[in-house]
Structure 1
Amino acid sequence: MTRHSTDLQSERPRERLLAHGAQVLTSPELLAIILRTGIKGRDAVSLGRSLMERFGGLRALLSADAQTLLALPGLGMAKTCELLAINELNRRALEEDLKAGQALDQPQRVKHYCTATLGHLQVEHCMALYLDSQFRLITAEEISRGTLTQASVYPREVIKAGLKHHAAALILAHNHPSGIAEPSEADLALTRHLKHALALVDIRLLDHLIVTRSGAVSLAERGQV
């Protein structure tokens, strides 16, 4: 295959997207548009397909960290940065929607944001989403890193931040790097403890989300908040 024909093949997904819309392209073809070029022996579409197969799907690929991506043959700094940028742009777009007035009184509306923010992390992180009286996102802040216990999350600091942001409600979220979304006894004990502490200053704990790469489990939906 000549260089010219290879270039034409890599252009086809872009031409089809402009002519018919992004929805007609396969996921490997959409990845090819982001990656722009392939590697030796594989065009961009084939590279995108092989990456999806290696990670078992788009979600895992787009939430992979820099070290994992850089270790893959053919994914240098440029392609790695492009893939990392997609996930971060997605997270920021979700955050914009939540700040623009979408109510968070339904757990499903915040799951995608928490999964994009925490799902790919290899160490446990806990964050608090501070909400106004209409359940709109005011801000999201990390409150703990490492194994989650009552000793590692200080209710006084959470309350202090809640009062500073004039929050009426709060959603707690933390990831399980193991991929197991079942809450531990420590998770449940912290939920009860924090709910009681927040109630003393009239801040409502709406939910506690357990986040993995594949999604988030709502303790409120399970009646555990």
Structure 2
Amino acid sequence: MAITDWPLSERPREKMLQLGTQALSDAELLAIFLRTGIAGTDAVGLARQLLQQFGSLRALLGASKAEFCQARGLGEAKYVQLQAVLELSRRFLQQQLQRETVFTEPALVRKYLSSLLSQEQREIFMVLYLDNQHRMICAEPLFQGTIDASPVYPRIVVQHALRHNAAAVILAHNHPSGVAEPSRADRAITERLTQAMALVDIRVLDHFVVGDAEVVSFAERGWL
């Protein structure tokens, strides 16, 4: 049965318009992006097959071009469209943060960092530079490393913070394992960076660790 033959309340587009995006499953959201299915399978069915094939929505969205285009029902045009959607989402969140006071919008910061880092297969350490009203000046990835670690040098972080004339910073990095729980090394480098920044009168407001389904805040843990 084609989706157009489904009851209106069950069609992904109509369901979204009536109940909002949060009411849709991963497969239903993906089906709206796909628009059409393949022979013998509607768009929702194809979406379910793709999620099963890749293992998760995260894996599908983070797939390489070659992996993505080899999947049945996908191709280069869909890959380009998906990358454009992801980048639009990142830019939207970044522009929101540039207008808002970052320190009072932790949920928005989490969404932004997750959009940037949750798909990365290597550990990326980045810094959000803030002005004296805690609005974001820019976000900059500074270090990247192996799948297990990223070398972080306080001297480099201080240099870049001064270059951007930052009054405060938020630190962030991802755990490619998907587990966001901070390690002892994470806590140690945060302490070193906080001490180094204090010497030039720049505050470290928070350090976020990004995993698959969770973003941990050092400030919320009482570690800053």
Partner of 2:84: 85
- Paired residue total: 218
Q: Which amino acid in the other structure matches residue 220 of structure 1?
A: A
Partner of 1:100: 99
Partner of 2:36: 37
Q: Which amino acid in the other structure matches residue 113 of structure 2?
A: C
Partner of 1:26: 24
**Relative contact order (alpha carbons < 8 A, sep ≥ 6): 1 or 2 greater?**
1
Partners in 2 of 1:65 and 1:71 — Cα distance? 10
Matches within 5 A, 1:210-225: 210-225=209-224
Partner of 2:73: 74
Unaligned runs of at least 5 residues, structure 2 = none
Deviation of 1:31 after TM superposition, in Å, equals 2.4
The DSSP-based 3-state class of the residue aligned with 2:102 is coil
Indicate if the aligned counterparts of 2:93 and 2:108 stay in contact, CA closer than 8 A.
no
Identity %: 47
The DSSP-based 3-state class of the residue aligned with 1:173 is strand
Measured against aligned partners, the alpha-carbon deviations of 1:71-103 in whole angstroms (never above 9, x if no partner) come to 423321122232333222222111111011243
Partners in 2 of 1:181 and 1:82 — Cα distance? 29
> Residue 62 and residue 202 in structure 1: after superposition, are their counterparts in 2 closer, same or farther (change >3 A)?
same
In angstroms, what is the RMSD of aligned CA positions?
Answer: 2.9
Partners in 2 of 1:178 and 1:138 — Cα distance? 30
Unaligned runs of at least 5 residues, structure 1 = none
Indicate if the aligned counterparts of 1:62 and 1:86 stay in contact, CA closer than 8 A.
no
Partner of 2:50: 51
Q: Which amino acid in the other structure matches residue 114 of structure 2?
A: T
In the alignment, does 2:187 pair up with 1:188?
Answer: yes
Q: Normalised by the size of structure 2, how large is the TM-score? A: 0.82
